Amino acid sequence: MPLFIKPGGVRCRIAPSPTGNLHIGTARAALFNYLFAKKYGGKFILRIEDTDIERSDKVFEKNILEGLQWLGINADEGPEAGGPHAPYRQSERTASYKKYIKKLLDEGRAFYCFHSEQELKFEAKEQMSMKLPLFHLCSFRDMPQSEAETKKAAGQSAIIRFKIPTEPSNHQITFQDLIRNQVHFFTGLLGDFSIAKNLETPLYNFAVVVDDHEMAITHVIRGEDHIPNTPKQLLIAEALGWTTTNEFGDIVPPWRYAHLPLILGPDCSKLSKRHGATSVDEYREQGYLPEALFNFMALVGWNPGTDKEIFTKEELIQEFSIENVQKAGAIFDIQKLDWMNGEYIRRKPLSELAELTMPFLKESGLLQITNHKSQITNDYLKKVLALEQPRLKKLSEIGERTDYFFRAPAYNKGLLRWKDMNDEKVLAALKRAEEIIKLKVKSLKSKIEIEKIFLEEIGEGDKGEILWPLRVALTGKKASPSPFEIMEILGKEESLKKLKTATRKITG
């Protein structure tokens, strides 16, 4: 299918409404728009759809802006970046909407509807009970505008509806979708849908069309949940005179559509709160790296057709192809995200990882404690991180995994037992370890040397008999890096101190 790319002319947009924090689904849609635009050297535009003043909140707008920035999905035009089609907030674009609503009203393509919400709800219920399709062909559709104005002046409240063409009575609307090819709808089932509460407050379907036109959008890439809105938007665009007609008589808008498959929760329904984390900042707080999330989201619903899975942003832009986007919804598999995040963590230079984990260490209280006790240097932290790097899936795990480097670990003495050892044997093992450290090991500078000495001392015996109690004494954990690596970082004095604590746990 032709992609309708004019060189440098691609203009994509993400149009979130600030009624909640940046949702994973919105971020993914933004990502695909971004990748598509960048691939063809075009522009990615951010537009805030805050026409619903009741539900919109600046706090959410800020969250969305920050979330996209964190992910590295940067807008070329938007409320912050500015641009030739400013303003980029719908709440600041009312003049445009007003102009076009008036136009439709004057040309008889829209009308005032005086039905109350209760009346409409009742009608909907009736239709439902009669097993009729749910739509509203309004009885006010043919009221002359002058009469409607008088009614309004008398204080009757009204909303503005689009007058669905009834000639021909059940016209088929077809549009081309870059992902799904042709999609068909019938106008007979649409009803006279609402387009504005009044001249100043447009509703979604109307505002989108006006803005996409005014912002010269070339490709509308959005979630599949918008497919049913498309015929309405097409009809509005047509009424406003922005469309052309192809040889089959189909309405052809000035932009192309691409409807993305939905992101689903584990139960195959649209990803929502009850599935757990749905907002980008929840992932950020859990210690997922933006590059990992970026990479992972690109792979849900799309793949390059090769075995490659780890991509830089630039590679993704290069490789992305809208024609390889999946049609069916995709479950958001956190296990795979975890794996990928681990991959990214393992590839991070230690200095960067140190910076990234710092906030998490502070949050778990580990950094403050040591700050006044002993000098915790960046070098020390880097050594600790080098040990945990292959184990870390999320940055937030860092505290629980490395606490013993910063404070005395809490554990039960039973943990010190290797296999079926009794207290006496544990005590002997600890003593033995202490002796080896004290007498045989000159300094604890090299883990290789420490290991060599320990293995020589243990000889043919069960290594676990000494190494397990030693390691638990050092860490207080049943799983951790090797005692040699740990002692290298801890140093002789601190290591012996921890052995003593362990001994006391048993002797009481």
**Closer CB to RNA, 49 or 434, in the complex:** 49
Between CA 99 and CA 483 the distance in angstroms is 74
Identity of the residue numbered 27:
A
For β-strands 330-331 and 159-162, DSSP reports them as unpaired
**Closer CB to RNA, 144 or 228, in the complex:** 228
Q: Indicate the SS3 state at residue 279.
A: strand
In the list 17, 278, 295, 495, the residue contacting RNA (rule: CB under 7 A) is: 17
Instruction: Enumerate residues 224-283 that contact RNA by CB under 7 A.
Output: 224-229, 261-262, 264, 267-270
Identity of the residue numbered 183:
V
Instruction: Enumerate residues 285-314 that contact RNA by CB under 7 A.
Output: 299-303, 305, 307, 309
**Closer CB to RNA, 158 or 369, in the complex:** 158
- Catalytic residue numbers? 273
Q: How far is the CB of 442 from RNA (least distance, A)?
A: 21
Q: How far is the CB of 33 from RNA (least distance, A)?
A: 15
**Closer CB to RNA, 79 or 342, in the complex:** 342
Q: How far is the CB of 467 from RNA (least distance, A)?
A: 4
The end-to-end CA distance of the chain, in Å, is: 78
Instruction: Enumerate residues 19-78 that contact RNA by CB under 7 A.
Output: 19, 49, 51-52, 55
Burial pattern 14-41, b for ≥16 Cβ within 10 A else e, equals: bbbbbebbbbbbbbbbbbbbbbbbbbbe
In the list 40, 88, 162, 484, the residue contacting RNA (rule: CB under 7 A) is: 484
Between CA 322 and CA 72 the distance in angstroms is 20
In the list 151, 383, 391, 497, the residue contacting RNA (rule: CB under 7 A) is: 391
- 281, 289, 300: which is closest to 392 by C-alpha? 289
- The answer on whether 98 is annotated among ligand-binding residues is no
**Closer CB to RNA, 439 or 455, in the complex:** 455
Phi, psi of 53 (to 5 degrees): -65, -30
**Closer CB to RNA, 218 or 480, in the complex:** 480
Alpha-helix residue ranges (DSSP H) falling in 12-81: 24-39, 58-71
Instruction: Enumerate residues 399-418 that contact RNA by CB under 7 A.
Output: 418
Q: Which stretch binds RNA (CB under 7 A): 11-19, 30-38, 213-221, 277-285?
A: 11-19
Exposure on the CB side of residue 305, measured as CA atoms within 13 A: 7
Q: How far is the CB of 488 from RNA (least distance, A)?
A: 12
Size of the site for RNA (CB under 7 A): 85
In the list 278, 468, 476, 495, the residue contacting RNA (rule: CB under 7 A) is: 468
Q: How far is the CB of 438 from RNA (least distance, A)?
A: 19
Q: Indicate the SS3 state at residue 175.
A: strand
Burial pattern 162-173, b for ≥16 Cβ within 10 A else e, equals: bbbeeeeeebeb
Instruction: Enumerate residues 174-233 that contact RNA by CB under 7 A.
Output: 180-186, 189, 194, 197, 203-205, 224-229
Instruction: Enumerate residues 323-382 that contact RNA by CB under 7 A.
Output: 324, 326-331, 333, 335-336, 338-339, 342, 346
Give the rounded distance of the alpha carbon of 371 from its chain centre: 35
In the list 438, 445, 452, 478, the residue contacting RNA (rule: CB under 7 A) is: 478
**Closer CB to RNA, 77 or 488, in the complex:** 488
Identity of the residue numbered 417:
R
Q: In what order do the strands lie in the sheet with 181-186?
A: 43-46, 11-14, 219-223, 256-260, 172-177, 181-186
In the list 93, 284, 348, 471, the residue contacting RNA (rule: CB under 7 A) is: 471
Instruction: Enumerate residues 105-164 that contact RNA by CB under 7 A.
Output: 115-117, 120, 124, 128, 131-136, 157, 159
Q: How far is the CB of 103 from RNA (least distance, A)?
A: 20
Distances (CA, A) of 148 to 109, 197, 205: 14, 15, 23
**Closer CB to RNA, 267 or 375, in the complex:** 267
In the chain, helix, strand, coil percent, each to 5? Answer: 50, 10, 40
How many beta carbons lie within 10 A of that of residue 271, not counting itself?
22
Between CA 51 and CA 98 the distance in angstroms is 13
Q: How far is the CB of 284 from RNA (least distance, A)?
A: 21
In the list 461, 479, 493, 507, the residue contacting RNA (rule: CB under 7 A) is: 479
Instruction: Enumerate residues 417-456 that contact RNA by CB under 7 A.
Output: 418
How many beta carbons lie within 10 A of that of residue 333, not counting itself?
13
Q: How far is the CB of 22 from RNA (least distance, A)?
A: 13
State the binding site.
273
State the binding site for ATP.
273
